[in-house]
């Protein structure tokens, strides 16, 4: 068991391996456009929630929602270009989107709305496991659970402890399931194998 965990922790970054595979199949453009569309779709939701009673209520939180929407549109436009991003740019993308989701989760008036927003971090966790290394998964799990714990705590303090516990268990199961499935897919594709022989320029 300890050996398995040690091997999992020492797995190399998958980014250059994935880049080479996508380039060989001429699929980088399609993947870029897919990520661009998904980022734009999720990025527009915070701005739309301004007109919902469950969304941000104060002028400050509404301004944050608009800033997040603009930043997401910028990131989506960046992914829409033809050039494949570097590993550093990919990690920066994940970090920026993660920060945006965390901030928006805290600004929603309705705690359940904030919880649903925090659930979007599961997609970033899957992205990191597939495109990078599992070590980032541990950080993302802590961030995701911490983010969703805030609206869950608000719900519990409001008097519905059972529902709060239900949401906490649901969040934990969803994060664990997505993480394990993504990790299993990585191993099935053979990405976890040492890939130091792949030319990074490729």
Q: Does residue 100 lie in a domain region?
A: yes
Confidence of residue 162 (pLDDT cuts 50, 70, 90): very high
What is the pLDDT, as a whole number, of residue 134? 74
Q: Does residue 183 lie in a domain region?
A: yes
What is the pLDDT, as a whole number, of residue 178? 84
* Length of the chain as a residue count: 202
Residue 57 sits in which domain range? 12-188
Number of independent structural domains in the chain: 1
Which of 55-59, 66-70, 159-163, 184-188 is the least confident region?
184-188
Q: Does residue 150 lie in a domain region?
A: yes
Q: Does residue 5 lie in a domain region?
A: no
E strand residue ranges, the chain? none
Q: Does residue 2 lie in a domain region?
A: no
pLDDT digits (tens, 9 = 90+) for 40-59: 888 888 788 888 888 888 88
End-to-end CA distance of the chain: 36
Which of 9-13, 51-55, 130-134, 161-165 is the least confident region?
9-13
Q: Does residue 202 lie in a domain region?
A: no
pLDDT digits (tens, 9 = 90+) for 179-195: 788 777 777 766 544 44
Q: Does residue 163 lie in a domain region?
A: yes
The whole model's pTM is what?
0.83
Q: Does residue 138 lie in a domain region?
A: yes
Contacts 24+ apart (CB under 8 A), 112-118: 112/54, 112/151, 112/155, 112/167, 113/49, 113/52, 113/54, 113/55, 113/151, 114/150, 114/151, 114/154, 115/148, 115/151, 115/152, 115/155, 115/167, 115/171, 117/46, 118/144, 118/147, 118/148, 118/151, 118/171
Structure tokens belonging to residue 112: 């359940």
How deeply is 164 buried, as exposed, middle or buried, from its count of CB atoms within 10 A (0-12, 13-18, 19+)? buried
């Amino acid at each position: 068991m300890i050996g398995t965990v040690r091997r999992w922790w020492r797995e190399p970054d998958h980014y250059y391996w994935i880049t080479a595979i996508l380039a060989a199949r001429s699929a980088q453009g399609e993947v870029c456009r897919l990520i661009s569309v998904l980022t734009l779709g999720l990025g527009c939701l915070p701005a739309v929630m301004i007109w919902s009673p469950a969304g941000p209520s104060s002028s400050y939180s509404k301004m944050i929602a608009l800033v997040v929407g603009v930043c997401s549109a910028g990131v989506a436009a960046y992914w829409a270009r033809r050039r494949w991003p570097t590993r550093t740019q990919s990690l920066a993308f994940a970090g920026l989107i993660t920060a945006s989701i965390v901030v928006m989760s805290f600004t929603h008036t309705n705690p359940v709305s904030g919880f649903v927003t925090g659930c979007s971090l599961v997609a970033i966790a899957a992205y990191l496991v597939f495109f990078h290394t599992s070590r980032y998964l541990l950080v993302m799990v802590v961030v995701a659970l911490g983010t969703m714990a805030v609206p869950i705590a608000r719900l519990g303090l409001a008097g519905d402890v059972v529902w709060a516990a239900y949401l906490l268990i649901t969040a934990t199961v969803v994060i664990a399931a997505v993480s394990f499935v993504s990790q299993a897919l990585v191993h099935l594709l053979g990405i976890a194998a040492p890939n130091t022989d792949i030319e990074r320029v490729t």
